[in-house]
Structure 1
Amino acid sequence: MYTLADYLLDVTKYLGSDEIFGVPGDFNLQFLDHITHRHDMKWIGNANELNASYMADGYARERGFATFVTTFGVGELSAINGLAGSVAEQVPVLEIVGAPTTKVQHNGGLVHHTFADSQFKRFIKAHEALGLKASFLTKDNAINQINDTIHYIYENKKPAYLVLPTDLVALPVNDNLKANIPHLFESKQTDVSQSFETITSAIKTAKKPVIIVGHEAQRFNLGDAIEDFSKHNNIPVATLAMGKSTVSEEFENFIGTYNGSISDEAINRFVDEADTVITIGAKLTDSITGGFTQSFGPEKTISLNFDNVTIYGERLTTPYNFEAVINQLAATNLNQNYDKVVRPQLASNELKATDNKLTQEFYDRALQYFVQGKNTLVAEQGTSFFGLASQQLKANTNFIGQPLWGSIGYAFPSALGSQFANQKDNRRTVLSTGEGSLLLTIQDFGVAFKENLTPVIFIIENSGYTVERVIHGETEPYNDVPQLNYYTIPHAFGATDKQYLFINVDTEKDLVNAMQKANDIPDKLIVIQANMGVMDAPEQLIKTGQLFEAQNH
């Protein structure tokens, strides 16, 4: 018998969910049976729902879609912070919530995981308040609700939330529905000729344009199209840190990662001297613009976003489709004869390791050297993100960070989600996180070893929250964290000696030697503890911290 649960899983499988994350609870157990009894999907049980939501977010950034499952009330509220991050940074994740039966809810039953007040809609209202598309499945309209939700995620690259009452899990549905699943993702064609003409006419008025790329372009996989547009027209391209790796950083017209006034001088020169800045899928938030210190305003900006276009401060009102317009630009030669882009000269990548104590500056350069194509680099917000976002990465390297939502502890489970997503592609995830951040989500080391994942994990041990110390409270005890014995973590979470390698590093040579060992051992999870000074922080983080502190007064 083909059921509603089967159909829902077939749809999510079609979009790329080979693994489904989450935590069991009595309101979702019958649905989980439909996952575990399949041969083309795998259930990944997390230590908690928050980690599941983070892991799904990292998976979706690689695959373009992810699914996780929680139980009603306690489970979904545990996950809501991670799902809110997916809203903020536009990551296409689906949460499925197992809920009490339709009859229990209709009769106002005083059941567990509620406030015992017969109110069952408050949690869905909470998710709607966060801007999520939220649906409560009903017997009469469940198929249409599922189709509408999944199509929304596909079209908008945004997360959504479905409530599945337990009595609907085994509801029989027509098995012919499965054949129609591909048609759910047929997009309606929009005539964008008028908006395209307006946009290209505006660009042609520029004598010295520059392109700045953000995360929306990454979600829609528009990096190649942007490179083609740049190459046909000799327009330099930068990315924001939220959007890093959308275009190849070895692309001939790539000039670097822009971060307002605190960017490298050579990058700033391109942006400051441009008479038109073309932003593509970008949001100019504080932590990726040097605290709003970008050198351009609306009067010199053509802004192409997912849901709107503004040209020199005026909003475009003609029919528009983000993907269609960028893909048309890819094949466009503006015939403006812009000068050939001369990329900024990069500092030498050669590493000359010494016996000197390890510093953040050397660590960041060493990570740049270590991370190759077919790696995904995940950087926790803080010293890791601000030190690594400005490093130029090899072609075919992916980069994951969370600079807008900035939820502490996000990076570790996100990195595991990334590794799950890339198992078939033989792409290895490299995580850089601080010991303070790791404390919040450390529980899913158990999942990593249970599922034989093999990322490389760098733990920066610098005696607390250096990112916060830089902003405020350098010596205050609230920026201290418990000091763990990291070498005991693998065994504590169930690892055998054959599954991992732990390396403690204090000097530059120690770090380089550890990296070589990690490269030589691709079939183990590698944990490298990098010991650094308490206030050793990347220059961009120090400058950003000063700006944030000034703004908080």
Structure 2
Amino acid sequence: MYTVADYLLDRLKEVGIDDIFGVPGDYNLKFLDHITARNDLNWIGNANELNAAYMADGYARTKGVSAFVTTFGVGELSAINGLAGSYAENVPVIEIVGSPTTTVQEGKKLVHHTLGDGDFSHFEKMHEKVTAAIAHLTVENALTEIDRVLTIAMTQKRPVYLNLPIDVAEIKVSKPNTPLLTEQKELTNTESELLDIVEKALTNSVNPVIIAGHEILSYHLEKHLDNFIQKYNLPVTTLPFGKGAFNEEDPHYLGTYSGSPTTEPLKSRVDEADLVLLLGAKLTDSATSGFSFGFTDKQILSIGSTEISIHGEKQAGIQLDRFIPALKTINYSGFIGEINPLKRLSNGENTTEKLTQKHFWEMVETFLIQGDTVVGEQGTSFFGLTNVPLKKAMHFIGQPLWGSIGYTFPSALGSQMANKASRHLLFIGDGSLQLTVQELGTALREGLTPIVFVINNNGYTVEREIHGATEPYNDIPMWDYQHLPLVFGGTKDSVATYKVTTEIELDNAMKAARKDTQRLQWIEVVMDQEDAPDLLKKLAKNFAKQNS
């Protein structure tokens, strides 16, 4: 018998999902049976629902879309923080919540996982502000609502929510007979008018610069951006919130712009441009070091999926996956000035000296190779990586807007599952790791082989830089990080572990880890708690002022 559950899973498969994350609970178990009965979908059980949401987020950033399953009430509320991060950063994640039967809900029964008041709508309402669409599936609306909600996830690149009662999942239905998505290639009138505005602005500009942001990555428009830049010979930079949107080895790339701490000549090049064209970018505090960018509304033409700003005048956003490809059709002769591409760092000889943040990130730059996926945890890792130039065909994952610590460990694993051909390099601090380390068991069970750099600097270094450098609230328990994989089921056949304190020890570990592609690589990197990347130190001062 073909059911609503089967229809939903067929639609998930149609949009490109191969793996579904989550945690079992009695209200979703029958639905999970439909997943495990299939040969074309994999069930990936997680240690908890928050980690499932994070893992699904990483999967979607690489694959394009993802799904995870929780049980009603306790499960979905555990996951809502992860879903909020996906909403903030334009990541299409589909949450499927298994709920009590329609009879139980209509009868207002006082069942477990509720607030004991007979109202089964509380948790849907809690999700309204962090999802682009919500559907409570019924016998009458299940198929149309599944299609509606999944279409919104794919077009708006934001999370959606499906409440699936046990009995509704088992209702007999017909298989889908039309595609879920139909591509609209024609620009709307608004988009055509905006294209003319861009054409005129570039034609009248003497010193333009393009700033690419995270929505280029959300909509997977990197190739279309590249076509635009190459055709018109334009200088381009990215914000930290959007790093990886353009090939950083390309001569058109100026470097990563992050406001006042940005090094010269990039800082002046952007601040003094007569046209700053932002594509899919948001000027958030963490991306601009506390709004310390040096350009003004008069210079800005910003085009995003949720908002457009034309020299300070704001209007609703447009569909980026139609608009960005059309940029290569404008009547513009191209930029003829000097671009001054990014200068890459040079790494000196490694010694037995104690590791510092500065030399660590220089060594990381020489360690990267084309095709890697780099994941940077919010804190020393993200801001250390911001100015590390990426190689061609590399992917970068961070969460600088939502900034939920611990996010990147499950996210890196989800991304690795979405693209096992790419070696994943995760950089995460000790404080962040302690929040989500439970998924280490999942990584080992699934045979994933990322290279994980655990930065042991004895606490919350990013918070120490902002406020309370010696206060106990920035301290954490000291763990034996090197041997953690053994606690979570690792063996010498599945994981290699290292603990490094000097430059030469790190160099040796890096060389060994790069060669060993069959096992998870776990490198504990010990550094002083007062040491931090220069960008983080500068940004922390701006944050401290912002918070005072």
Same-fold call, TM cutoff 0.5: yes
* Residue identity in the other structure for 2:48: N
Identity %: 47
1:269 maps onto 2:268 in alignment:
yes
Distance, in Å, in 2 between the alignment partners of 1:404 and 1:51 is 18
The answer for the alignment partner of 2:34 in structure 1 is: 34
Structure 2 matches for 1:245-264, cutoff 5 A?
A: 245-264=244-263
Report deviation, 1:231. Answer: 2.1
- The CA deviation string for residues 287-310 of structure 1, in whole angstroms up to 9 with x for no partner, is 110110111121110111113322
1:512 maps onto 2:510 in alignment:
no
Distance, in Å, in 2 between the alignment partners of 1:159 and 1:272 is 35
* Residue identity in the other structure for 1:110: L
With over 3 angstroms needed to count, the CA separation of the structure-2 counterparts of 1:47 and 1:364, relative to structure 1, is same
Residue number among 327, 339, 342 corresponding to 1:341 in the alignment: 339
The answer for the alignment partner of 1:237 in structure 2 is: 236
The answer for the alignment partner of 2:63 in structure 1 is: 63
Contact 1:213 1:243 in 2 (8 A): yes
Report deviation, 1:528. Answer: 0.3
The answer for the alignment partner of 2:325 in structure 1 is: 327
- The CA deviation string for residues 173-218 of structure 1, in whole angstroms up to 9 with x for no partner, is 112x1x42x3434337333433322331123221110000111111
The answer for the alignment partner of 2:383 in structure 1 is: 386
* Residue identity in the other structure for 2:311: Y
Structure 2 matches for 1:195-206, cutoff 5 A?
A: 195-206=194-205
Report deviation, 1:363. Answer: 1.1
The answer for the alignment partner of 1:24 in structure 2 is: 24
Report deviation, 1:324. Answer: 2.3
Contact 2:209 2:236 in 1 (8 A): yes
The answer for the alignment partner of 1:374 in structure 2 is: 371
Q: Secondary structure at the match of 1:265?
A: coil
The answer for the alignment partner of 2:427 in structure 1 is: 432
The answer for the alignment partner of 2:406 in structure 1 is: 409
Distance, in Å, in 2 between the alignment partners of 1:407 and 1:300 is 32
User: Structure 1 stretches of 5 or more lacking a match?
Assistant: none
Distance, in Å, in 2 between the alignment partners of 1:229 and 1:378 is 27
Distance, in Å, in 1 between the alignment partners of 2:343 and 2:430 is 34
The answer for the alignment partner of 1:534 in structure 2 is: 529
Structure 2 matches for 1:4-403, cutoff 5 A?
A: 4-175=4-175, 177=176, 179-180=177-178, 182-187=179-184, 189-191=186-188, 192-315=191-314, 320-332=318-330, 334-348=332-346, 350-403=347-400
The answer for the alignment partner of 1:478 in structure 2 is: 473
User: Structure 2 stretches of 5 or more lacking a match?
Assistant: none
Contact 1:232 1:333 in 2 (8 A): no
Distance, in Å, in 2 between the alignment partners of 1:262 and 1:454 is 35
**C-alpha RMSD of the superposition:** 1.5
Report deviation, 1:281. Answer: 0.4
Q: Secondary structure at the match of 2:265?
A: helix
Distance, in Å, in 2 between the alignment partners of 1:227 and 1:188 is 19
Report deviation, 1:372. Answer: 1.3
Distance, in Å, in 2 between the alignment partners of 1:118 and 1:68 is 26
Q: Secondary structure at the match of 1:67?
A: strand
- The CA deviation string for residues 139-177 of structure 1, in whole angstroms up to 9 with x for no partner, is 1011000000011011111110110000011111112x1
Distance, in Å, in 2 between the alignment partners of 1:442 and 1:122 is 30
With over 3 angstroms needed to count, the CA separation of the structure-2 counterparts of 1:346 and 1:522, relative to structure 1, is same
Q: Secondary structure at the match of 2:39?
A: coil
Q: Secondary structure at the match of 1:235?
A: coil
- The CA deviation string for residues 61-83 of structure 1, in whole angstroms up to 9 with x for no partner, is 00010100000000000000000
Q: Secondary structure at the match of 1:457?
A: strand
* Residue identity in the other structure for 2:397: I
Contact 2:212 2:237 in 1 (8 A): yes
Report deviation, 1:529. Answer: 0.4
* Residue identity in the other structure for 1:260: G
With over 3 angstroms needed to count, the CA separation of the structure-2 counterparts of 1:333 and 1:19, relative to structure 1, is same
Report deviation, 1:551. Answer: 1.6
Q: Secondary structure at the match of 1:287?
A: coil
* Residue identity in the other structure for 1:276: L
Report deviation, 1:479. Answer: 0.8
- The CA deviation string for residues 397-420 of structure 1, in whole angstroms up to 9 with x for no partner, is 110000000001101011111111
The answer for the alignment partner of 1:460 in structure 2 is: 455
Q: Secondary structure at the match of 1:498?
A: coil
Report deviation, 1:221. Answer: 1.7
Distance, in Å, in 2 between the alignment partners of 1:393 and 1:483 is 32
- The CA deviation string for residues 215-242 of structure 1, in whole angstroms up to 9 with x for no partner, is 1111112222222222222221000111
Distance, in Å, in 2 between the alignment partners of 1:134 and 1:344 is 44
1:445 maps onto 2:440 in alignment:
yes
Report deviation, 1:340. Answer: 4.1
Report deviation, 1:131. Answer: 4.5
What TM-score results when the alignment is normalised by the length of structure 2? 0.97
Report deviation, 1:267. Answer: 1.4
Contact 1:195 1:316 in 2 (8 A): no
Counting matched residue pairs gives 546
* Residue identity in the other structure for 2:36: T
- The CA deviation string for residues 115-160 of structure 1, in whole angstroms up to 9 with x for no partner, is 1100110100010033441111111011000000011011111110
With over 3 angstroms needed to count, the CA separation of the structure-2 counterparts of 1:81 and 1:230, relative to structure 1, is same
- The CA deviation string for residues 303-334 of structure 1, in whole angstroms up to 9 with x for no partner, is 111133222123468x9542222111124451
* Residue identity in the other structure for 2:383: F
Report deviation, 1:339. Answer: 1.3
Distance, in Å, in 2 between the alignment partners of 1:346 and 1:283 is 26
Contact 1:222 1:323 in 2 (8 A): yes
Contact 1:229 1:333 in 2 (8 A): no
* Residue identity in the other structure for 1:380: E
What TM-score results when the alignment is normalised by the length of structure 1? 0.96
With over 3 angstroms needed to count, the CA separation of the structure-2 counterparts of 1:109 and 1:187, relative to structure 1, is farther
Distance, in Å, in 2 between the alignment partners of 1:258 and 1:169 is 49
1:2 maps onto 2:2 in alignment:
yes
Report deviation, 1:394. Answer: 0.5
* Residue identity in the other structure for 2:299: K
